[in-house]
Chains A and B, each alone.
Chain A
Amino acid sequence: MITLNDYLLVAGILFAIGLAGVVVRRNIIVIYMCLEMMLSAANLTLVAFSRFHLVDGAPDYAAQSLVFFTITVAAAEVAVGLAIIVALFRAKQSVDVESVTKLKG
C-alpha cells in the first residue's frame, strides 16, 4: 500500500527536478516553468499531509486551504513574471540568462 513517505518522496523528487531545471536551463521561460513545478511539489506535500492527518475523522482542510492560496498566488505571480519577461525580451531581444548581467558588482 502507498504510504505517506511515497507521496513525500515523489514531491521531493519533483522539487529536485525543478531545482535542477532552474539551475541548468538558460532560457528564462523554462526556468519559470521549473519554478512552477517546485511550487506544485510543495502543494503535493501539503495535500499529502492533510490527507494523512485526520481531524476528527475528516482530512485536515486547513492544509488544503493553504494549497488553495498558493495556487492563487502562483497564478498572480506567473502573470507578473511573464510580463517582466516580455519587457525584458523587448529590452534585450533575448531570453537568455547570460545577457542579463546589468546588476553586476
Chain B
Amino acid sequence: MTSYNAASVVLLLPLLSAFFILVLGRTVGTTVSKMISVGSAALCFVVSVATLGVTNDSGVLVSFLNVGKLHADIGFIIDQQSRGMLFIVTFIGLLVHVYSLGYMKEDKAQSRYFGSLSMFMFSMTGIVLADNFAMMFMFWELVGLSSYLLIGHWFEKPEACEASKKAFLTNRIGDFGFMIGILTLWAASNGELGFAQLRESLSGGSVSGPLHSAPAWVLTVAAIGIFMGAVGKSAQAPLHVWLPDAMEGPTPVSALIHAATMVAAGVYMLVRVSFVIAASETAMHLIAGVGGFTALFAALMAVQQNDIKRILAYSTLSQLGYMVMAVGLQAGEAGMFHLYTHAFFKALLFLGSGAVIYACHHEQDIWKMGGLSKKTPITFLTFVIGTAALMGIPGLSGFFSKEEILGAAYHDCGWLFTAAAFTALLTSFYMSRCVIVAFFGKARSENADHAHEAPLIMTAPLMLLSIFAIASGYGFFSDRLQAMVPHAEHGEGHYLVMGVSIAAVVIGAGLAFFLYNGKDKDPLNIKLFANRFYIDEIYAVIVKVFQDRLAWIVSGLESIFADGLVARLPAAIACRVGKTARAIQSGHLQGYTFALGAGLILAIYLVVQVLPKH
C-alpha cells in the first residue's frame, strides 16, 4: 500500500460514493446508498490505519491547473500531522456513519443525508492531505458546502435553512480573508502556492526566495489573511456566530463536523502553514489574543445555555480557542495534541447527547431532563467519562493536552495564562452543571420519565469512543496513532501549571455541585451570557443596515445615475432638441423669406469679406 494509492483511495472513494448517491440514489433505494456510504467510510478507515506505518511522502495525484506560472494540482502529504488527522477523521467518520444508521432510521431523506456525509468525508480528507494553498482553498469551500448541506438537511425547518445559510456565508467571509492571504503570498513569492516551495522561498535558502526579502507588512497581511480563513472555519471570535446555530442539523452531524473534524480544520491548517505565521510577530500576537479571548468568551456564554447541544457547541468554541491560542504561542504541537484528544471526547459527548435526545424523544432542554442516570446507564457512564476528559480531570486525555497549552501560555505571557486558567474553571463548571441537571435528581418531564436506553448500534460507538477518551492521552496510544505529542521539556513552572489546572477543575465542579444539585430551576440568571452577549442581534443589525439598507440606497442611486445619466438623460435631450427644432417650421412664409434673405446677405458677406482674407 504505497502512500500514493492510499491517498487516492482515501480521497476519491467518498467522492465516488457521494456522486453515486447523487446520481442513482433515488433509483437504487436508501438501503443500498446507506451501505455504500458506510462501506466507503469503513474502507477509508482501514486504509488510513494502514498508512499509520507508512513513511513520510508527498506527491501529485492529478494536475488541476497548469497555465503559465500557475501550477495548482491535487497533491498529498503524508507526514505525522496528516496521518494523525487522517486517523481521527476516518475513525470518527466511521463511528458517526454507524451511529447515523440508528439515529436517522426514520428520516425520509436518508440517501441525501449519507450522500452529504460522504461529500464531507471527501472534502475533509482533501484538507488533511492538501499540499498547496490552491487545493487547501478548494477543499476549504467544499467543506463549507457539505456543512451547508448537512446543517440544512431538514430544510422544511426555517431555522435549519437560516442556520445553514448563515454557516455558509460566515465561512465565505472567512474564505474572503483566506484568499487575500493566499494572493499576497502568491504575489510576494512570485507565483508559488505549494507549502514546501513557500517554506523554502521564505527561508531564503535557495535563490528563488523572493518571499524572504518581502517587506514585513506583506508577511503580516498574508498571515492575518490566512488566519481569517481559520477564524471563519474554526468559528473564532468575530465569526463564531454560525456554530451554535449549526446545532439545527442532525446530532451525528454536529458530532462529526462541529466537534471533531471540520472546525478543527482551521487549527490543522494553521499548524500546517505555521512557517508563514512564524514569519510575522504581530500576526502571532493577534492569533494568540483571538484564541484566548474566544476561549474565555465562549466559556462565559456556555455557562447560561439550557440546550444540551448548545452547551457542547460553546464548549467546542472554547476548546478551539485554546488550540488557536496554542498556535499563536508558537506551540503548534500542543494545539494539535489538544485537537487530537478533544476530537475523541467531544465526539463522544455529542453522540452521547444524541443518545440522550433520542431517549427523551427529541427533547433538548436539560431542565426538562433529570434522573437519566438510572434510565440510560450506558449513555450516562460514557457521557460522564467524556465530561471528565473535557474538564481535564488528571489521568484522562483532556488533562494532558490542556495542561500542555496552559504551560505554553504560562511561559509566554501572564494574562493569557490567567484567562486560560479561568476558562478551565468555567469549563468544569458548566460541564458538571450539565451532567448534574441532566442526569441526577428526578425526571422533570414525562419524556424524561419513561426514557429508554438507545439501541446497541448507537451505544457501541459511545463505548468505543470512551475508551479512546481515556487512553488517547497516554504515550502508548498516542505514539501508535501518530498524535503530535509535544516532547515534554517541562520548564520550571510545570508543577505550578499542573496545580493551577487541577485546582480550577475542583473549584469549578464543586461550585456547580453546590449550585445545581437537586434544583429544578436555574439559580443563576445572567441575561448577558444567556443571550450570547446579544452578538447575533448586533450582527443582524449590521447586516440589515450595511447590506440591505445600503443596497436599497445604492440601487436607488444606480437607477438615478447610471440609468438616468447614461440612458434617460440623452433621450430627454434628444426629445428637447427635437421639439425646439420643430418651431423653425412655423408655417409663416414671411419668416421663411426673411431667413432666405438673411442667408443671402450672410453668404455675400462671407464670400466677399471673409473668404479673401483667409
Residues of B in contact with A, size category: 10 to 19
Q: Is the CB of B590 within 8 A of A101?
A: no
Q: Nearest B residue to A101 by beta-carbon distance? A: B587
Contacts of B54-98 to chain A: CB distance below 8 A: none
Q: Is the CB of A104 within 8 A of B585?
A: yes
Cα A98 to Cα B591 in complex, Å, equals: 10
Kindly provide the distance from the CB of A58 to the nearest chain B CB, expressed in whole angstroms.
Answer: 32
Q: Does B475 lie at the interface of the complex (its beta carbon under 8 Å from any beta carbon of A)?
A: no
Kindly provide the distance from the CB of A42 to the nearest chain B CB, expressed in whole angstroms.
Answer: 13
Kindly provide the distance from the CB of B572 to the nearest chain A CB, expressed in whole angstroms.
Answer: 21
Contacts of A56-95 to chain B: CB distance below 8 A: none
Contacts of B549-600 to chain A: CB distance below 8 A: 582-590, 593-594, 597, 600
Contacts of A16-38 to chain B: CB distance below 8 A: 19, 22-23, 26, 31
Q: Within the complex, which residue of B583, B586, B590, B597 is in contact with A97, where a contact is CB–CB below 8 Å?
A: B590
Q: Does A100 lie at the interface of the complex (its beta carbon under 8 Å from any beta carbon of B)?
A: yes
Q: Is the CB of B589 within 8 A of A97?
A: yes
Q: Does A2 lie at the interface of the complex (its beta carbon under 8 Å from any beta carbon of B)?
A: no
Q: Does A103 lie at the interface of the complex (its beta carbon under 8 Å from any beta carbon of B)?
A: yes
Q: Is the CB of B597 within 8 A of A105?
A: no
Q: Is the CB of A105 within 8 A of B582?
A: yes
Chain B residues closer than 8 Å to A22, beta-carbon distance? 593, 597
Q: Within the complex, which residue of A31, A100, A104 is in contact with B586, where a contact is CB–CB below 8 Å?
A: A104
Q: Is the CB of A105 within 8 A of B590?
A: no
Count the A residues whose beta carbon is within 8 Å of the partner chain — how many? 13
Q: Nearest A residue to B598 by beta-carbon distance? A: A23
Interface residues of chain B: helix, strand, loop or mixed (majority): helix
Chain B residues closer than 8 Å to A105, beta-carbon distance? 582-587
Contacts of B93-149 to chain A: CB distance below 8 A: none
Q: Within the complex, which residue of A23, A31, A100, A104 is in contact with B594, where a contact is CB–CB below 8 Å?
A: A23
- Check A104/B587 contact, CB under 8 A, given A19-B597, A23-B597: yes
Q: Is the CB of B588 within 8 A of A101?
A: yes
Chain B residues closer than 8 Å to A31, beta-carbon distance? 593
Chain A residues closer than 8 Å to B584, beta-carbon distance? 105
Kindly provide the distance from the CB of B81 to the nearest chain A CB, expressed in whole angstroms.
Answer: 85
Cα A19 to Cα B587 in complex, Å, equals: 20
Q: Is the CB of B582 within 8 A of A23?
A: no
Contacts of B353-390 to chain A: CB distance below 8 A: none
Kindly provide the distance from the CB of B604 to the nearest chain A CB, expressed in whole angstroms.
Answer: 11
Q: Nearest B residue to A97 by beta-carbon distance? A: B589
Chain A residues closer than 8 Å to B597, beta-carbon distance? 19, 22-23
Q: Is the CB of B593 within 8 A of A103?
A: no
Q: Nearest B residue to A25 by beta-carbon distance? A: B590
Kindly provide the distance from the CB of B186 to the nearest chain A CB, expressed in whole angstroms.
Answer: 66
Chain B residues closer than 8 Å to A97, beta-carbon distance? 588-590
Q: Within the complex, which residue of A26, A102, A103, A104 is in contact with B590, where a contact is CB–CB below 8 Å?
A: A26
Task: List 21 A-B residue pairs with CB atoms under 8 Å apart, sorted by A's residue number.
Answer: A19-B597, A22-B597, A23-B590, A23-B593, A23-B594, A23-B597, A31-B593, A97-B588, A97-B590, A98-B588, A100-B587, A100-B589, A101-B587, A103-B585, A104-B585, A104-B586, A104-B587, A105-B583, A105-B584, A105-B586, A105-B587
6 additional A-B pairs beyond A23-B594, A105-B582, beta carbons within 8 Å, are A23-B590, A26-B590, A97-B589, A102-B587, A105-B584, A105-B585
Q: When A and B form their complex, which 3 residue pairs have the shortest distance between CB atoms, in order from nearest?
A: A105-B585, A101-B587, A104-B587
